Amino acid sequence: MEVTARPLLVFVHSPLVGPSTWTAVAERLGSRYPVVTPSLTGVFAKSGDPGLYHALADAVALPVPDTGEPVVLVAHSGAGALLPVVAERLGDRVRAAVYVDALPPHPGSRWLDTVPQELRDHLLGLAHNGLLPPWNEWFPPEVLAELLPEPGLREKFVAELPRVPVTYLAEPAPSAAEVNPAAYLRLSEGYDEVADEAESRGWWVRRRQYDHLAPLTRPGDVAALVDAAVTALDVGTGPSSAR
């Protein structure tokens, strides 16, 4: 009987936050799959990048070992828009994508186009010298305290937050083929409409009443969901249907 390789799971965190978003989930799945958790936090500190989406995709692809396993990309929040560009970097090894409370790809549109006008105006008003304050300062302090009530976890999360350039939020996402098959894991009510869209497109969808930072606060539950999604997508050794 032919034995297929377990896929390599590449956990992509939102460029607005840090890699600890995925650390505990990846640790729980590391006994079942090879895993990689690239860090994007240094990308915005570099000047002169002509296209930040491409620079972020390079940062994801660089630490992925070329060992031949099929690859599943797992994105949280704003990382969803990066997956098509990451898949271009990694080629036919990419077999599937799992979106976890994530934005779907929006080629040709800006991140700013994905949020309500009120939030857009608020964020642009916070910018100083072309940079936004760290993500936790976009909202009243009690918002993050409610999402991450454990002080040590909250402190670690905040320490990783980058200063995001407004140019990233205003840059149209590049055009690239989406990865198929795909799954969507809805963790919080803010992503109901995205989950509905995913369902209408025939993606494998599961909904839970957790919160947006559940990969940090409920890593065991989220790891089980990711495992179920990867199993349902039945990743084999053939090329992805996207390219």
| β strands within the chain, DSSP E | 8-12, 35-36, 71-76, 94-100, 182-186, 204-207
Residue 236: pLDDT band by 50, 70, 90 thresholds? low
Say what the pLDDT of residue 209 is.
Answer: 96
Average pLDDT over residues 111-136: 91
Q: How many structural domains compose the chain? A: 1
Does residue 71 belong to any structural domain of this protein? yes
Strand-strand pairing, 71-76 and 94-100: parallel
Which of 108, 67, 101, 70 is closest to 87 using CA atoms? 70
The residue that leads in pLDDT, 46 or 202, is 202
DSSP assigned state of 137: G
Q: Look up the CATH number of the domain holding residue 29.
A: 3.40.50.1820
Residue 115 lies in a domain: no
CA distances from 129 to 43, 45, 55, 166 (A): 18, 14, 21, 9
Q: Is the pLDDT of residue 47 over 70?
A: no
Q: Does residue 26 lie within any of the structural domains?
A: yes
The backbone torsions φ and ψ at residue 76, rounded to the nearest 5 degrees and listed phi first, read -115, 135
Residue 243 above 50 pLDDT? no
What dihedral angle (degrees, nearest 10) is formed by the CA atoms of 72, 177, 14, 41?
Answer: 90
Q: What is the pLDDT of residues 104-115, one digit of tens each?
A: 999 999 999 888
Give the pLDDT confidence of 139-194 residue by residue, as tens digits: 998 999 999 999 999 999 999 999 999 999 999 999 888 999 999 999 999 999 99
Q: Is residue 129 part of a domain?
A: no
φ, ψ at 23 (rounded to 5°): -55, -50
Rounded to whole angstroms, the Cα distance separating 193 from 236 reads: 30
> Looking at the domain assignment, is residue 63 inside a domain?
yes
What's the rounded Cα separation, in Å, for the pair 220 and 206?
A: 16
Is 200 a residue whose pLDDT tops 80? yes
Question: What's the pLDDT at 48?
Answer: 53
Q: Are the CB atoms for 11 and 40 separated by under 8 Å?
A: no
pLDDT band at 242 (very low <50, low <70, confident <90, very high): very low
In a domain, 2, yes or no: no
pLDDT at residue 34 above 90? yes
Contacts of 155 (CB under 8 A, 6+ apart): none
Position 146 in a domain? no
Which range marks the domain in which residue 44 is found? 8-105+175-233
Q: Which H helix or E strand runs over 52?
A: helix 52-61
Q: Please check whether residue 41 lies inside any domain of the structure.
A: yes
> Quick one: pLDDT at residue 50?
64
pLDDT of residue 4: 53
